């Protein structure tokens, strides 16, 4: 007769067998799983090494290409701006080295650089927009008119265009020396600009900015610089807005210009001025402005071509 004790022993044996089986099975699965993960980790490590090698190779090629563009740049722009005058306008985030290199190329092209005006960080600060707008209205030279647009970038572009650029029809200054000195003094005293020594008006202008604008007010800051450059272009014989990596994005001044069809029909933009090749393109784009043409040049997705005369 089968006793209760026998049943208990049998059931206990069954559960012990199950438990041993689960443990043994789990150990085997875990070993296979760990082995697979180890293989995957090794493969990923090799991919990382390969990508780093590829990145280093590409960086090396870019460095060599930049050196080449630096060496041939003066030859490629030679004579493009002979007997022309150019004024440089830089934003607070423009790099001095890039500014100096661009100025050197302009001179190699035959142009006379008449000086530099730096726009301070306060110039594009939306919290100081009303102050800038009111000051511009008070400093406007007699005989000149401000644009009808009310935004500070356009209004400041109208004032500084009259101060920094020659009349495109007569090639004469649009403001007297005293009016120019007074207006620049007022803007300097308020902390909006920093004029370089010996600054005088020119036929053409290059506005050199940095890359993408960061911060909560990035869109407003980029829009102010973009509208300033557009109005500056309309004030003289031509202008180019040049920026570095990220400047053609939505948070960059070039991106703002390129989103406006009316603006791109007059103002040329170059989105890779942080490279030697891009600075060459900026000079060529400025020459194109003299022919009444404009374009979106560079390497960003919204550029139409790498340089004037080249299809994308």
Residue 24's pLDDT is 47
Residue 173's pLDDT is 96
What residues in the chain have per-residue pLDDT under 70? 1-31, 33-34, 40, 44, 46-72, 310-312
Residue 20's pLDDT is 46
For 183, the token pair is 């207006």
Residue 64's pLDDT is 47
Residue 30's pLDDT is 64
Residue 146's pLDDT is 86
Q: What's the pTM value of the predicted model, to 2 decimals?
A: 0.79
Distances (CA, A) of 81 to 28, 195, 204, 222, 286: 77, 24, 10, 29, 8
Write the pLDDT tens digit of every residue in 182-209: 999 999 999 999 999 999 999 999 999 9
Question: What average pLDDT does the chain have?
Answer: 86
């Amino acid at each position: 007769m089968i006793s209760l004790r026998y049943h208990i022993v049998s059931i206990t044996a069954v559960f012990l067998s199950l438990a041993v089986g689960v443990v043994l099975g789990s150990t085997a699965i875990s070993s296979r799983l760990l082995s697979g993960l180890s293989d995957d980790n090794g493969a990923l490590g090799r991919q990382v090494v390969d990508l780093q090698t590829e990145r280093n190779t590409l960086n090396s090629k870019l460095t060599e290409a930049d050196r080449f563009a630096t060496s041939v740049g003066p030859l490629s722009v030679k004579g493009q701006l002979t007997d022309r005058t150019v004024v440089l306008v830089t934003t607070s985030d423009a790099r001095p080295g890039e500014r100096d290199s661009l100025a050197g190329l302009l001179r190699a092209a035959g142009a006379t650089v008449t000086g530099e005006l730096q726009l301070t960080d306060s110039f594009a600060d939306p919290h100081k927009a009303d102050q800038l707008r009111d000051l511009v209205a008070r400093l406007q030279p007699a005989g000149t008119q401000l644009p009808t647009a009310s935004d500070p970038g356009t209004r400041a572009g109208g004032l500084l265009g009259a101060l920094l650029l020659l009349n495109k029809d007569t090639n004469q200054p649009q403001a007297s020396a005293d009016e120019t000195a007074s207006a620049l003094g007022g803007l300097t005293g308020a902390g909006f600009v920093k004029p370089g020594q010996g600054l005088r008006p020119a036929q053409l202008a290059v506005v050199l900015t940095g890359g993408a604008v960061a911060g909560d007010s990035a869109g407003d800051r980029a829009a102010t610089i973009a509208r300033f450059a557009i109005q500056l272009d309309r004030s003289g014989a031509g202008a180019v807005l040049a920026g570095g990596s990220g400047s053609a994005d939505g948070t960059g001044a070039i991106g703002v210009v390129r989103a406006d069809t009316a603006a791109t029909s007059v103002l040329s933009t170059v989105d890779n001025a942080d490279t030697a090749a891009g600075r060459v393109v900026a000079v060529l784009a400025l020459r194109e402005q003299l022919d009444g043409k404009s374009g979106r040049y560079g390497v960003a997705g919204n550029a139409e071509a790498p340089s004037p005369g080249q299809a994308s």
